[in-house]
Amino acid sequence: MTEVSRRHAAAESREAQRAAFFAGVRACVVFMPSYVPFGLVCGVAAVQAGLGEFGALALAAFAFAGSSQAVLTQFLNGGAPLAMAIASGLVVNLRMAVYSAALSQRMSVTTRKERLLWAAFLVDQTFICNEARHERGEHIAHPLAFYLGCAAVIWPFWIFTNALGAFAGAQVPPSWQLEFTIPLSFVAMVVPMLKTRSQIGAALAGAVAGVLFYSLPMKTGLIAACVVGTCVGLLVDAVQKRTQGVTP
Amino acid sequence: MSVWGSADGWIAIAGLAVGTFLIRYSFIGFLAGRRLPPPVARALQLAVPAIFAALVMPLVILANGELSVSARYPHVIAALIAGGYAWWRGGMLMPLLLGMAVLHAILALT
């Protein structure tokens, strides 16, 4: 390659990287309304639990996981021992191990720094956006740029909503039902991914099990439901293989 | 209470933050670049719809942890219409707007 064509290729790659980043930004802007009600609640709860306004900010920035923040502050408020409050919050986040495992299979060659970045911004929304991107086969050359585009929207906005709750005690009127945008956004992401009977079976079984196990403590029902749904999906795989001799 | 909170509070924040990061990094750190055996990889693929369905369903049909048709049927209809639209046309914004519009229309009319 000549120096000119090499420089040309590098500029093209930078351009593609930038396109991937902004595609990630666009993909995640729509999640913003769903962050508002929960972020405010988490900010208020953190201050009430005695973390202080800046503690609330730090919690949002560095834990960056709403349900576990809520569980942690709830336990602290209830006077639970510190270790118990932390452990309970962590159990809520165990589903992220599933995301971590699924994501690891999407990576080929990565540096340690890249792996740290993938891990740092791993939440429900960034994960499912990346799965959808992978499914559509977009930005295959720059998955991390797309992912960081998602994170560039979601992470600061999560901190911002928590800060509004912590410093201003802001609330959204319950009658707006803004928190309902959380399940709606996941429905919109996941439904187009359901293409095979096995996936549909896994989703239906997961949905039913998710409701049945909902009352299990610290959202462990979610993990149980994930196992049930996965097993049903694998069962559908096996049945299809046997009756049609086709691989899914 | 000061804006900086208590020392215990900061231990709790650090504990949750570090622990959560370790969970996030767990398999990415171990497995990145390594392929799992096909059955395990297949199970992981199916775990994604299963876990998201399990996340979504209680948020749609349960009111304060209780199954309540009269309280939640507007949400069920809204989610079905949003899901139907997403299946038909894809996208994110339209299913969201449609779902919220349907929900508020039903709540306003009943």
Do A180 and B103 lie within an 8 Å CB cutoff? yes
Most A-contacting residue of B48, B67, B100, B106 (CB-CB within 10 A), to test interface:
B48
Question: Who among A53, A189, A193 is closest to B3 (CB)?
Answer: A53
The answer to whether residues A60 and A162 touch, using CB atoms and an 8 Å cutoff, is yes
Predicted local distance difference test score (pLDDT) of residue A8: 86
Tell me which chain B residues have a C-beta less than 8 angstroms from the C-beta of A62.
13-14, 17
Window 71-110 of A: residues touching B by CB (8 A cutoff) are 72, 76, 82-83, 85-86, 89-90, 93-105, 107-110
| Domain chopping of chain A, boundaries | 3-173, 194-243
Element (H, E) at B62: strand B62-63
What pLDDT digit, counting tens, does each position of A184-233 carry?
999 999 999 999 999 999 999 999 999 999 999 888 999 999 999 999 99
The pLDDT of residue A34: 92
Mean pLDDT (whole number) for B16-21: 98
H or E element: which one contains A171? none
Question: Would you state the pLDDT for residue A60?
Answer: 98
Distance, in angstroms, between B5 CA and closest chain A CA? 4
The 10s digit of each residue's pLDDT in A71-116 is: 999 999 999 999 999 999 999 999 999 999 999 998 877 899 999 9
- At A247 the pLDDT is 54
Closest residue of A to B12, CA-based?
A86
Mean pLDDT across chain B:
94
- Of A30, A86, A108, Cβ closest to residue B19: A86
Best of A187, A219, A228 to mutate (most B CBs within 10 Å, chain B): A187
pLDDT at residue A1 in the model: 59
Q: In terms of CA atoms, which chain A residue is nearest residue B62?
A: A211
Q: How far is CA B32 from the centre of its chain?
A: 25
Say yes or no to pLDDT of B29 above 60.
Answer: yes
pLDDT in tens, B37-86: 999 999 999 999 999 999 999 999 999 889 988 999 999 999 999 999 99
pLDDT of residue A86: 96
- Nearest Cα neighbor of B103 from A183, A129, A29 is A183
Residue B67 pairs in a beta bridge with B62
User: Residue length, chain A?
Assistant: 248
> What are the tokens at A184?
């709606």
User: What pLDDT digit, counting tens, does each position of A140-176 carry?
Assistant: 999 999 999 999 999 999 999 999 999 999 889 999 9
Indicate whether A246 pLDDT > 60.
no
Nearest CA in chain A to B43: A230
pLDDT of B32 reads 81
Sign, CA dihedral B18-B19-B24-B28, equals positive
Q: Distance between CA atoms of B61 and A184, rounded to whole angstroms? A: 12
Can you tell me the ipTM of this complex? Answer: 0.93
pLDDT score of A4: 80
Backbone Cα Rg of chain A = 21
Task: Report A:178-207 residues touching B (Cβ under 8 A).
Answer: 180-194, 198-200, 202-207
Q: Give the residue among A82, A54, A234 at the shortest CA–CA distance from A162.
A: A54
DSSP helix/strand/coil, B33: coil
Q: Tell which residue, B17, B28, B88, B34, has the closest CA to residue A126.
A: B28
Cβ contacts of A214 on chain B, cutoff 8 Å: 58, 62, 65
Q: What is the mean pLDDT of residues A124-145?
A: 94
Q: Side chain identity at A18, as an amino acid letter?
A: R
- CA-wise closest residue to B28 among A231, A147, A217, A157: A147
Residue in the structure block whose two tokens are 């929304």: A125
pLDDT of residue B64: 87
Q: Which residues on chain B are in Cβ contact (under 8 Å) with A189?
A: 52, 86, 92
- State the average pLDDT over residues A45-74: 96
